[in-house]
Amino acid sequence: MKSRIAVLASGGGSNLQAILEHLERLGERRGGDVVLVVSDRADAGALERAARRDIAQSAHATSKNTAAPPLGELLAEHTVDLVVLAGYMRLVPADIVGLYAGRIINVHPALLPSFGGTGMYGQRVHHAVIEAGVRVTGVTAHFVDDSYDRGRIITQWPVPVFASDDAGTLAARVLRVEHLVYPRVVDAVAAGRTTLEVAETAGLDAIVDVRPSFTLLPHEDSRLVENIELALGC
């Protein structure tokens, strides 16, 4: 049984595109199908991408667009069992988070819990990263709870910050990694390989096909020392 996936997106939908292409590449091995794309903005590029692929798509009701159907209604109508936030800028209502506990996930373009929470979205995240002077940022995929960016982490992947970066160059480098990591997380959750319970106990190991290659084995310490000394000019 394949999971029925809804993708919620506010913007261009490049993550949606990466998810669709990954599931397509997996063919019969895929854990689910995107059956619905929903947006808080009627002009979201993500809705167009869905329409081009004949996937059901809709704007949902907001305070500015009361004519559209409520989000919960759309999810129920399409018997969705996994909700995937991909560049979705709103807080999902608590009743929906409760209903989909362990079956609702998000991607954030930084290493949570840093650079997350209210107001931390889009380019603001990357501006804040550069402003703070950190040298490593990254991608976080996590289960969603009723606060911004605080649910249980499924996996994280680091991305370097270069001295020459502005928010645009950094955003592009992070997004490239999002496109590689998030579709695999979506498939793992859709297939039931990763569950909230597994993420709580196993952390990074929860996803077997996203190996943290940056983890050094003990016998690689000498190589690490070499790299540290090179970087520090020792």
List active site positions. Answer: 108
Rounded CA separation 160/38 (Å): 32
Q: How far is the CB of 79 from ligand GRF (least distance, A)?
A: 24
- Using alpha carbons, select from 203, 205, 206, 176 the residue that is nearest to residue 193: 206
* Residue with Cβ nearer ligand GRF (16 or 83): 16
Q: How far is the CB of 208 from ligand GRF (least distance, A)?
A: 23
* Residue with Cβ nearer ligand GRF (154 or 208): 154
Q: How far is the CB of 16 from ligand GRF (least distance, A)?
A: 6
Reading the block at residue 106, the tokens are 């998000």
Q: What is the chain's percent helix, strand, coil content, to nearest 5?
A: 40, 20, 40
* Residue with Cβ nearer ligand GRF (124 or 223): 124
Rounded CA separation 185/106 (Å): 10
- Using alpha carbons, select from 33, 138, 14, 191 the residue that is nearest to residue 86: 14
* Residue with Cβ nearer ligand GRF (137 or 194): 137
Rounded CA separation 23/41 (Å): 25
Q: How far is the CB of 22 from ligand GRF (least distance, A)?
A: 13
Burial (CB count within 10 angstroms: exposed 0-12, middle 13-18, buried 19+), residue 99 = middle
Binding residues for ligand GRF, per CB under 6 A? 9, 11-16, 86-87, 107-109, 121, 175, 178
> For ligand GRF, which residue has the nearest CB?
87
Q: Determine contact, residues 100/83, Cβ cutoff 8 Å.
A: yes
Reading the block at residue 108, the tokens are 């954030």
Q: How far is the CB of 134 from ligand GRF (least distance, A)?
A: 17
* Residue with Cβ nearer ligand GRF (99 or 167): 167
Rounded CA separation 214/220 (Å): 11
